[in-house]
Amino acid sequence: MKQLDVLKNYAKAVAIGAYDSDSPGLFGKHDNVRRYWEDRFNRTVMSQFLAPVVERQRESSSGIRVMDLGCGAGEGLGILTSLPQRARNLDSELEKVLDYRDISHYKGVDISPAMIEKAKSLHEKRSQASFEVADLSEGLPIEMGEPPYDVYFSSYGALSHLNDEALGKLVGEICKHIEDRGIFVADMLGRFSYEWPGYWGNPNDNGSKMNTYSMSYIYPPDAKGEIEVERFPIRFWGGAEFDRFITEIAADKGAKVIRRRLCDRSILVGRHMNTREFNPEAPPIRAAVNSLHQINCRTDLSQLIFEYHPQPNHPHLNRFFDNLQNSWNAVVYACIEALDRWRTPQKLELEPLAGYPPVVQDAIRTIRLAVRMAPSLRIDDPRANLVEPQLAYLLREVEWNLQQGLGASHGLLAVYEFKK
Ligand SMILES: C[S@@+](CC[C@H](N)C(=O)[O-])C[C@H]1O[C@@H](n2cnc3c(N)ncnc32)[C@H](O)[C@@H]1O
């Protein structure tokens, strides 16, 4: 029955066209936050670990083999093949870490026939890509003698559909299937997100229980109420418990495991900050950040202020969120203040910044500079098109720098290397 709800949910998502267009905007699956924060975060994290793999495969001219677990409409292919190095100057070309031509085979598997159909139609010209329907709760979908993959990849919560037993079996089979080494990328839903404090439970529990989730956010805001939104079980993970889980499974299979990264993605801009479906006190910060990135659109900056309500029994998380709240709000207030006083820029330099982490000090200086420079640049509406996107990028840096991989976010991104 629950599996049926998962299938219905994703079939509907395909039917409404959520997987068709990837032009970013104010809401929907491919909104600005997904494009400029989430995809970008995934790419930045993965490029560090893929670069050496790519180099090795280029030397041996063998090409990289990737399996995408819960591939949806084949999003992983796009995420992996548009891994740009950060542009450090204005006059050189952007280099990619992984080019489509580096991939010798990409195999996407997903339980949803509708998704696989969509993936096939979107990628029909990609001759190295193949897609098949498979249920990951039955284990790793490989044929007898199927060659190992260099990267076992998953994105945006696909493996959070599995309970602990099924995930353990899958990871164990990956450990056995690798050649001498393989990269495993897991992208789980974070248990300690402010989107759902009701799911945090007791800090010492492992959270092996499945909790109810929905993807109501993919529907346009004005369609709510007319659409029946499916609810289905999801496993939410804390960072430490996920790390323990993977380490134990790998050790049990005799594989060595090296944790390459464990990080929080979208702490204040999770999808359900806007819906408030699981936390009525959540401020709709994702909507405000989407607006910051939108061309010719001015944002009410007060909508960006994060007011955290401490949760009983979680002093460590309370300290983490408290610190993030102070840092984040300081940058927002600095921007509001600079806009109020942009005609008297000399005063802006006098504000004391000591006491804030370096990333926040740097962000405050930068936003003041952007406000001062903006009116002299030739651009329509410098506030909407220059200051506001800059503020978004600075807030993104604050979030990325202060995250601790606690699972205090919508997405917990983990990269492991398994070795035999
Ligand atoms: C949130 S979507 C993510 C899709 C894609 N990876 C992306 O980055 O957008 C989760 C995907 O997991 C798939 N899924 C859920 N349960 C699964 C299972 N038991 N076996 C295989 N795929 C599953 C769903 O059909 C869906 O396409």
**Residue whose token pair is 């580096």:** 102
413 and 263 in contact (C-beta within 8 Å)? yes
In this structure, the number of other CB atoms found within 10 A of the CB of residue 87 comes to 11
Check whether 411 has a pLDDT greater than 90: yes
Which residues face 419 on adjacent strands? 181, 256
Instruction: Report the pLDDT value the prediction gives residue 220, as an integer from 0 to 100.
Output: 77
Grouping H, G, I as helix, E, B as strand and the rest as coil, residue 413 is strand
Lowest mean pLDDT across 204-208, 238-242, 292-296, 416-420: 204-208
In short, whether 66's Cβ falls inside 6 Å of ligand 1 is no
Point out the ligand 1 atom lying closest to the alpha carbon of residue 162.
19
Average the pLDDT over 331-355 and give the result.
78
79-122 pLDDT tens trace:
888 766 555 566 666 666 778 888 999 999 999 999 999 999 99
Distance from the alpha carbon of residue 71 to the mean position of ligand 1, in angstroms:
6
Q: What does the pLDDT read at residue 10?
A: 85
Please identify, in words, the CATH class of the domain defined by 2-267+405-419. Answer: alpha beta
The closest residue, in CA terms, to atom 14 on ligand 1 is 70
Hey, is 280 helix, strand or coil? coil
User: Cβ(214) to ligand 1 under 6 A?
Assistant: no
pLDDT beyond 60 at 345? no
Task: Using the mean position of ligand 1's atoms as its centre, give its distance from the Cα of residue 7 in Å.
Answer: 10
Is the CB of 271 inside a 6 Å radius of any atom of ligand 1?
A: no
Which range is least confidently modeled, 44-58, 129-143, 281-295, 318-332?
Answer: 44-58
Averaged pLDDT, 288-312: 96
- In angstroms, rounded to a whole number, what is the distance separating the alpha carbons of residues 365 and 62? 47
Q: Is the pLDDT confidence value at 289 over 80?
A: yes
Q: Closest Cα partner for 71 from 159, 139, 9?
A: 159
The verdict on the CB of residue 217 being under 6 Å from ligand 1 is no
Residue 349 clears pLDDT 60, i.e. is over it: no
Residue 159 Cα: closest atom of ligand 1 = 12
Provide the pLDDT for residue 407. 98
206 lines ligand 1 (CB under 6 A): no
- Stated as kind and residue range, the H or E segment containing 151 is strand 151-153
The burial of 214, by beta-carbon neighbours within 10 Å (0-12 exposed, 13-18 middle, 19 or more buried), is given as: middle
For position 185, what pLDDT does the model report?
Answer: 96
pLDDT at 88: 59
The model's confidence at residue 32, banded by pLDDT at 50, 70 and 90, is very high
Are the CB atoms for 281 and 194 separated by under 8 Å? no
Find out whether 116 and 131 touch, Cβ atoms under 8 Å: yes
Average pLDDT over residues 188-212: 91
* CA distance linking residue 52 with residue 56, whole number of Å: 6
CA distance 100 to 184: 19
Ligand 1 near 39 CB (within 6 A) = no
State mean pLDDT over 242-247. Answer: 97
What percentage of the chain reaches a pLDDT higher than 70? 92
Residues pairing with 110 in the sheet: 133
- The arithmetic mean of pLDDT across residues 150-170, rounded, is 97
- Around 418, how many Cα atoms within 13 Å sit in the side-chain half-sphere? 32
Q: Is 160 in the pocket of ligand 1 (CB under 6 A)?
A: no
Q: Which atom of ligand 1 is nearest to the CA of 115?
A: 27
Question: Burial of 99 by CB count in 10 Å (0-12 exposed, 13-18 middle, 19+ buried)?
Answer: middle
Q: How many CB atoms lie within 10 A of CB 224?
A: 12
Q: What is the pTM of this model?
A: 0.93
**What average pLDDT does range 65-69 have in this prediction?**
97
- When pLDDT is averaged across residues 172-198 and rounded to a whole number, the result is 97
The confidence score (pLDDT) of residue 28 equals 82
Residue 234 pLDDT more than 60? yes
pLDDT of residue 344: 67
Q: Which two tokens stand for residue 348?
A: 């802006």
Average pLDDT, the chain: 90
> Is pLDDT above 90 for 364?
yes
Q: Record the tokens describing residue 175, joined without a space.
A: 């450990």
Q: Is pLDDT of 396 > 70?
A: yes
Dist CA 73 CA 68 (whole Å): 11
User: Which residues fall within 8 angstroms of residue 309, CB to CB, at 6 or more apart?
Assistant: 281
E strand residue ranges, 246-295 = 256-265
What pLDDT was estimated at residue 323? 97
Q: Residues 286, 304: contact at Cβ < 8 Å?
A: no
Model pLDDT, residue 21: 63
Closest-CA residue, ligand 1 atom 10, reads: 158
Answer for the pair 105, 96: CB distance below 8 angstroms, yes or no: no
Domain ranges, ordered by start, for the chain: 2-267+405-419, 285-402
Most confident of the ranges 38-47, 101-110, 213-222: 101-110
Range in 80-94, 114-128, 282-296, 306-320 with the lowest mean pLDDT: 80-94
